[in-house]
Amino acid sequence: MDDPRPLLDEAVRLLREIAGARAGYIELRDARASEARYWTAAAGVEDGERARIEDRISKGVVAEAIETGETVHVASAMLDDRFSVRESVQLERIEAVLCVPLSGSEATGVVYLQNHMGGGQFSVDDVACVRAVAEYLGTLSARLLELQRRRLEEDRTVALRKRLRLGALVGRSAAIAAVLERMALLASMDNCVLITGPSGAGKTFFARLLHDNSPRRDAPFVRLDCSALTHDALQRELFGGESEGRVAAADGGTLFIDEISELPTPLQAKVLRLVQTGEYTPAGADQPRTVDVRILSATHRNLAPGRDTTAFRKDLYYQLRAAQLRVPALIERREDIPPLVRHFCAASSERHGFDPIPPSPSTLVAAEFFDWPGNVRELASACEEAVVNARLDRVPEIEPRHLFPSTGATEAATFQDARRRWESSFLEQTLTKYDWNVARTARALQMSRSHLNVLIRRCELRRRDDDL
């Protein structure tokens, strides 16, 4: 999440609706920033009125409320001595005011509601509700700002980018850095590598990176997708016959067999022979031929004996998995989603000759907290469509409705949904950081172990095998 404003926008809209206020405003400031960093959100106000509200917050009694940490709750600002002396109060005939400060070690700010639609002052229930939301916003915003600082300050891939050829790789997360560290080691070797991970996560991309960073980088990289061809077509494509096959084309370089779990059983024996001896026999040939190829393979299935599939030869599996490289799902590296959205949208605009249409902050939030079951492939496709939709709407920014045309923007990025997804993601990342030690994690989050255990159960978090 690069910007807290979408969260503030949704919060001020909901508070204004719940409390029945004619106007609402939220301001958040980074208390630890060396330079002034602040974000604002408003509902029910025009630009000129918003500027006047900001002036009251920075110079009036509300500023004192922020400093003292006390709630300002008056029935009529026009009749209150603290407000009535201000010209803007009389000109705008400001009646009921409810102002609750946000405060903490990381974030400061204010929630401000003005003029009750039903007349009179805001109720006791309104005050309690705004205070509860303000407390939550203060805590959540502090954590978001801390995450933002970490993302701005920490790029786990910096050192790796200096020594590896990473092409168009987008991402700076710890998850991607871990993959690159392992890939760098495997690239220096010459054995088989089995690349695993969910569909659409980028297995082909990492296979290419493996080749580009290996001693075979200047030789051919040849890919074959087993899921797209019949048995006979695979036979011809792999080993050749009347024309050269992929194995021969990859001689001296790398042969990448994608979705190898779809390889028919009879061909598995021939691939096993190729792996073990470097020999193969083209269709119609009398004598075997020898090649020097490194074989990379990929699958989204679990090929281990007795697991996802039983039709795959055990001996071939053990040969292919001399080393493994797991590509994480997109939800395992959520912090990489906003830069990926920017990258895919910019690339789509450039490819089609469009003027750039950047994604809005709320779109980036919606994208970061969406599950993306199709992973990077689905995200790239959604961004392609979003660019078209935004261009047809003739708007300056890509909005959530452009990225999620079938589900609707509100469904993709409601306040409650964003909170639930962020809590789950934040807790899982912190637990992983402390090796799922609940006591250490609770201390780091400044909460009790029992509270943390409740949150773990509520978010249905489980330690993955990869974390063991």
Residue 116, domain CATH:
3.30.450.40
Residues 437 and 449 in one domain: yes
Give one word for 390, left, alpha or beta, with left for phi > 0 and alpha for psi -120 to 50.
Answer: alpha
Residues 191 and 311 in one domain: yes
User: Is residue 190 included in any domain, yes or no?
Assistant: yes
User: Is residue 438 included in any domain, yes or no?
Assistant: yes
Q: For the chain, which ranges sit under pLDDT 70? A: 1-3, 31-37, 47-68, 77-94, 103-107, 147-153, 306-310, 406-423, 464-468
Residue 455, domain CATH:
1.10.10
Where does 53-159 show beta strands of DSSP type E? 72-74, 97-102, 107-116
pLDDT score, position 33: 59
Q: Are 271 and 167 in contact (CB under 8 A)?
A: no
Residues 64 and 138 in one domain: yes
Residues 75 and 214 in one domain: no
User: Is residue 160 included in any domain, yes or no?
Assistant: no
Residues 18 and 116 in one domain: yes
Q: Which two tokens stand for residue 13?
A: 């809209």
| Sheet containing strand 97-102, strands side by side | 38-43, 21-30, 107-116, 97-102, 72-74
Q: Output helix, strand, coil percentages for the chain, rounded to the nearest 5.
A: 50, 15, 35
Nearest to 158 by CA among 136, 132, 140, 181: 181
Residue 303, domain CATH:
3.40.50.300
Please report which residue ranges of 93-228 form alpha helices under DSSP H. 124-153, 158-163, 174-187, 203-212
User: Is residue 276 included in any domain, yes or no?
Assistant: yes
Bridge partners (DSSP) of residue 282 are: none
Residues 18 and 121 in one domain: yes
What CA–CA distance (Å, rounded) separates 3 from 12? 16
What CA–CA distance (Å, rounded) separates 246 from 231? 15
Residues 237 and 185 in one domain: yes
| Domain, as residue range, for 395 | 330-413
Q: Are 357 and 396 in contact (CB under 8 A)?
A: yes
Residues 243 and 301 in one domain: yes
**Max CA separation in the chain (angstroms):** 103
User: Is residue 158 included in any domain, yes or no?
Assistant: no
Residues 289 and 195 in one domain: yes
Q: Are 342 and 380 in contact (CB under 8 A)?
A: no
Residues 227 and 122 in one domain: no
Sorted by sequence, the CB contacts under 8 Å of residue 260 that are 6+ apart come out as 226, 297, 298, 299, 303, 320
Sorted by sequence, the CB contacts under 8 Å of residue 288 that are 6+ apart come out as 279, 280, 281
pLDDT score, position 64: 59
Residue 277 DSSP symbol: H
What CA–CA distance (Å, rounded) separates 417 from 370? 9
This prediction's pTM: 0.62
What CA–CA distance (Å, rounded) separates 385 from 397? 14
Residues 147 and 187 in one domain: no
Domain boundary among 294, 326, 358: 326
Domain boundary among 102, 125, 153: 153
User: Is residue 161 included in any domain, yes or no?
Assistant: no
> For residue 47, what are the CA distances in angstroms to 54, 64, 88, 399, 402?
11, 24, 15, 21, 26
pLDDT score, position 411: 44
For residue 235, which amino acid is it? Answer: Q
Task: Give the torsion sign (CA, 386, 391, 395, 397).
Answer: positive
Residues 236 and 310 in one domain: yes
Domain boundary among 287, 307, 326: 326
Phi, psi for 407 (deg, rounded to 5):
-100, -25
Number of domains in the chain: 4
User: Is residue 162 included in any domain, yes or no?
Assistant: no
DSSP for 231-242 reads HHHHHHHHH-SS
Residue 354, domain CATH:
1.10.8.60
User: Is residue 159 included in any domain, yes or no?
Assistant: no
